[in-house]
Chain A
């Protein structure tokens, strides 16, 4: 048996294969759905269900092992490194879409407006009358007239909500370290509540965009970058809030000790990462 000093190496694992089957079924189902096949959506739901069962099963197992003291400090370091590098990969994923926004605003749209024109390069011949400006749905007026999303209404409120949730999350962490269970739980409840409030506000904002402002995913490059960036971020907020809910549930069952609470730390890191991405969005998507 693994002792506290030895590196814990599980000898067989069934959840990874189940998770792979779930993920593959889900994606193959989605692809079939996009191709207009009738089995697509049910395949997708089935895959998602398998995937959720896998997540629940795998994390329950990990929580159980952690609480029974099977993880040495060295194992904990591996988990922390794993989480760190995972978040780094997520940063690179968001970097693609921030980069896209930067490239289109500063390069491709001005070029379409003729800024790079010179001898032998005449954009006006291709797109007569197009003036480079931001926001834009391009010289083809793709998706029709739309109104861009302002910064100072709901988005600003959402900024305050997420920043506050970062504070409550840290407050909960201090509670954990000080063995103050009620502070830990209160802090987590506040963080989760703020997280879901953020998601609700964003859903409302999207609804408004689609019904009142004519702003959709199809509104040219502005609509594409706006919904892709805020959409992927919103998805990450949902995931983060669900992770924090699990951490909250575990905290109320008495899990975590000041010296052993990797799940809490990982969730908190993830939450702060999502928070920082939002600040980037607020500045580059809404404000500028």
Chain B
């Protein structure tokens, strides 16, 4: 972003008749405050991160050795399905919505989100959706075991869980759409005077585009699962060839949703990385406007590449070719981004606090995940990789050391602002190094397993896959255990942290990089009740 400073008189806030929060537990249930709701989203996401993580531990324990160890095959498949659904809809997406709630009003100088009552409903609908989903674990026939894609005809064999899973998707969809509409309206309508679109921090830009993706795709997923429901209970034939339908149709609809959906999880990641890297490189972000255009291009491309998830399903050759080339195009705007982050660091006066460490690891490891994606975009090669551990390794590289690492970075970066306390840098660094090393022990061997032909979503495997699976599992256990350090750090910081009083800026010269650093740490319950004035200081 262009560097901005805010001239903002803090005393103004105290003249205002301040409505404090309600007392006790009720505060959190009926709150309309963007900071409270942001906190709710972030805590919920962190809890779900551990719930989904526990499921991953079950998966890695079962795969530790060949042969059946701990769980039934059906339950194993429920675990892969639920792990994915919980992580995607319960952890990563809500965590970014939480960051959006907390930070967007602060970054654009708004008093709150544009539609505060709806904001409250978005959060509680998310909880309701996840509760419905979690309830399926205890049902006759078990939780859905079809993989998170819920492909028919397999998913139609689910027991009593099916309608609950479908309605859970509906609730999560309504929640996401409401959240996205709120974010879009806030960004378009609530910016402080002078905060033009091309002065917005990139986190705000990426969320604006992500919001658009969400409004466009969540109804599509809702439509797809509605057809699953009617095929199962109301005699329709959407996905049944005997009645003239086609199971492949579901895959098209699902991936029309699903491909933009994965970008819903990565675009805000890009936004946070573009926020943190300049602060610790002590340089303005390189190529601000190209970052904006690259984000928009990636979002546009995400709508026209969906069938690269379906290369082996029997597409006409023209379809294979089109989706192959269209997919490769994504590498261009993504490459622009990686180049810009690197150029931002080039000759910067860098320091390596925990948020920066996680961000640098993100740039390196996300690039690797991106490159394996490029490998799979080649249709003939995908016939080899499809449904193997190679794809599992690919998307985990784009999600764990990318989205999750950046969420950790965001946590370390903004915790001092949110709480007014400093986290323990030593434990933070320990958390980083344990995570960065173990995540590679966990996922890197899965590339080899996939290339050697190990299929995904199976509880048992041929003995030649034993060694790498054991190494992967060991990495998984270390990674899982290391995340408990983060939980400790969050609680420790809230309770006072290192005891060091943090300044408004927290990080050196951070106020040059974002309005949020002009507010006290922690910011008052209501911030920017009078809009700040934004003055451009330096151009580059």
What is the interface of chain A, defined by CB distance below 8 A to chain B?
Answer: 1, 6-7, 9-17, 19-21, 23-24, 27-28, 30-31, 34-35, 58, 74, 77-79, 81-82, 85-86, 88-90, 92-93, 95-97, 99-100, 103-104, 107-109, 111-112, 116, 127, 136-140, 142-143, 216-218, 220-225, 227-228
**Could you jot down 19 A-B contacts, CB within 8 Å?**
A7-B190, A17-B124, A19-B121, A20-B128, A23-B128, A23-B174, A27-B167, A30-B167, A34-B163, A34-B233, A92-B217, A96-B223, A103-B249, A108-B244, A112-B244, A136-B244, A217-B234, A221-B243, A224-B243
Stretch at the interface among B25-33, B325-333, B395-403, B417-425: B25-33
Which 10 residue pairs of A and B lie closest in terms of their CB atoms, listed nearest first? A140-B242, A96-B223, A138-B244, A218-B235, A221-B244, A16-B121, A108-B246, A31-B163, A142-B243, A93-B219
A222 touches B244 (CB 8 A): yes
Within B214-270, the residues touching A (CB, 8 Å) are: 215-220, 222-224, 227, 229-230, 233-238, 240-246, 248-249, 252-253
Name which residue of chain B comes closest to A91, CB basis.
B219
Q: Flag if A89 contacts B245 (CB, 8 Å).
A: no
Residues of A contacting B252 in the complex (Cβ-Cβ under 8 angstroms)? 103
Q: Known contacts A16-B124, A96-B220; is A24 also within 8 Å of B171 by CB?
A: yes
Residues on B with C-beta less than 8 A from A103 are 246, 249, 252
Tell me the complex Cα distance, A31–B222, Å: 16
Partner of B220 from the list A16, A95, A228 (CB cut-off 8 Å) is: A95
Find out whether the CB atom of B222 lies under 8 angstroms from the CB atom of A93.
Answer: yes
Partner of A221, one of B184, B222, B237, B529: B237
8 new A-B contacts, CB < 8 A, other than A6-B529, A12-B31, are A7-B112, A9-B111, A9-B526, A23-B128, A78-B186, A96-B223, A104-B249, A107-B246
* Alpha-carbon separation in the docked complex, A18 to B124 (Å): 10
Known: A20-B124, A85-B185, A97-B223. A142 touches B112 (CB 8 A): no
A27 contacts B171, CB within 8 Å?
A: yes
B245 touches A16 (CB 8 A): no
Q: Determine if B243 and A137 form an interchain contact, defined as CB atoms under 8 angstroms apart.
A: yes
Q: How far is the CB of B361 from chain A (nearest CB, A)?
A: 35
What CA separation (Å) do A99 and B303 show in the bound complex? 14
Residue of B nearest to A97 (CB): B223
- On chain B, the residues within 8 Å of A107 by CB distance are 246
* Cα separation A7 to B16 with both chains bound (whole Å): 13
Q: In the complex the two chains form, what is the Cα distance from A270 to B29 in whole Å?
A: 31
Contact check, A28 vs B132: say whether CB atoms are below 8 A apart: yes
Q: How far is the CB of A263 from chain B (nearest CB, A)?
A: 15
A221 and B245 within 8 A (CB): yes
Q: Which among A12, A20, A28, A138 is the interface contact of B243 at CB below 8 angstroms?
A: A138
Which of chain B's residues have a CB closer than 8 A to the CB of A78? Answer: 114-115, 185-186, 189-190
Residue of B174, B185, B222, B526 with most chain A CB atoms under a 10 A cut-off? B185
Cβ contacts under 8 Å, B223 to chain A:
93, 96-97
Q: Does B17 contact A (CB under 8 A)?
A: yes
Given contacts A78-B114, A78-B189, A139-B244, contact A12 B227 (CB under 8 A): no
Closest B residue to A32 by CB, please name it. Answer: B163
With both chains docked as a complex, state the minimum distance between the C-beta of B210 and any C-beta of chain A, in angstroms: 13
**Is residue B491 within 8 Å, beta carbon to beta carbon, of the partner chain?**
no
Separation of A81 and B184 alpha carbons in the complex (Å):
8
Q: How far is the CA of A135 from the CA of B481 in the complex (A)?
A: 58
Partner of A90 from the list B114, B124, B127, B219 (CB cut-off 8 Å) is B219
Count of chain A to chain B residue pairs whose CB atoms are closer than 8 Å in the complex: 210
Minimum Cβ distance to chain A for residue B474 (Å): 40
B167→A81 contact, CB < 8 A: no
A106 nearest CB across to chain B (Å): 12
Interface flag for B478 (CB, 8 Å): no
Nearest CB on B from A234, distance (A): 15
Residues on B with C-beta less than 8 A from A88 are 215-216
A9 near B116: Cβ-Cβ < 8 Å: yes
B518 interface residue, CB < 8 Å from A? Answer: no
- Shortest beta-carbon distance from B501 to chain A in Å: 30
B117 lies within 8 A of chain A by Cβ: yes
B115 touches A104 (CB 8 A): no
The residue in chain B whose Cβ has the minimal distance to the Cβ of A224 is: B236
Residue in B closest to A15 when the chains form the complex, CB atoms: B117
Query: How long is the Cα–Cα vector from A222 to B132 in the complex, in angstroms?
Result: 32
**CB nearest to A27 among chain B residues:** B167
Q: Which residues of A contact B222 (CB under 8 A)?
A: 93
Shortest distance from the beta carbon of A54 to any chain B beta carbon, whole Å:
10
B56 sits at the interface (CB 8 A): no
- In the bound complex, residues from chain A placing their C-beta under 8 Å from that of B242 are 138-140, 142
B441 at interface (Cβ–Cβ under 8 A)? no
Bound complex: CA A139 to CA B166 (Å):
28
Contact A138 to B237, CB < 8 A, known contacts A13-B30, A78-B115: yes
